[in-house]
Copies of this chain bind each other. A is one copy, B any other.
């Protein structure tokens, strides 16, 4: 069956969206739709223009026999700004205040639509860097890690606090938790990473960065390289941070438990703009 252009465009858009960051040979589409490569090229330039006009992402064409087309999810700055404003508004409600100056965020981390957009925002920041693995620590960072991973098309590894039989043999390290200065343990399945891989760390919340720093040590233990950190909310802290190369969306400036007020500002997503250490 020969496909009409309109049908090809719908199916192609779906296929590209389901296969981000993958090089798809033009012959794949040509065979799939029983169409000439020249028609596929024309289709792809329509898709590319629409994706770029609407801020969906980039469509990169690699010429040559081993070439093809690759969809790179990338949001415009305006989408980042609106997510930051949404988070500031949402997290500023006084009923989110928990004992010890923590904020209740579990509902946001369980919202798939919001997580998808946040994942795309962080994936955009790292879209032109080589990343092999996304690392997070159980439990709250997992939904962010998967949301980023989907857009970068790389696996997620989850660091645990305890050792479980289902993880097989593990590597474990001790680290100092930033705020409480207590010695804690982190465990990661040995099969999770191969030496030489490039790792992006993510978590929902960062104070001094003790947990982030623990993951950084774990990455070194596996002979891997830290590419950067993506943090949803960072908290203002008088001590020097243990990690410097991070992106955050929102910053928790001050919490007043007596008046039940929460002061939030924009994180360093725009001001950082790099991942130098």
Interface flags for A134-168 (1: CB within 8 Å of B; 0: not) read 00001110110011011001111110100001111
CB of A160 within 8 A of CB of B143, answer: no
CB of A143 within 8 A of CB of B156, answer: yes
Q: Which residue of chain B has its CB nearest to the CB of A147?
A: B146
User: Of the candidates B115, B139, B192, which one forms a contact with A139 in the assembled complex, judged by CB atoms under 8 Å apart?
Assistant: B139
**Contacting residues, chain B, for A9 (C-beta < 8 A):** 6, 9-10, 13
Task: Name the residue in A49, A51, A110 with the highest tally of chain B Cβ atoms < 10 Å from its Cβ.
Answer: A110
Copies in the complex: 2
**A7, B102: Cα distance in complex, Å:** 46
Any B CB within 8 A of the CB of A18: yes
User: Of the candidates B51, B146, B166, which one forms a contact with A143 in the assembled complex, judged by CB atoms under 8 Å apart?
Assistant: B146
What are some 28 contacts across the A-B interface (CB < 8 A)? A5-B6, A6-B6, A6-B9, A6-B46, A6-B50, A7-B46, A9-B13, A14-B17, A14-B51, A14-B56, A18-B116, A98-B165, A98-B166, A100-B165, A102-B166, A103-B166, A104-B166, A106-B166, A106-B168, A106-B191, A110-B192, A112-B149, A112-B150, A112-B155, A113-B153, A115-B146, A139-B139, A139-B158
A interface list, Cβ under 8 A from B: 5-7, 9-11, 13-14, 17-19, 46-47, 49-51, 53-54, 56, 98-100, 102-107, 110-113, 115-116, 138-140, 142-143, 146-147, 149-150, 153-158, 160, 165-168, 189, 191-192, 205
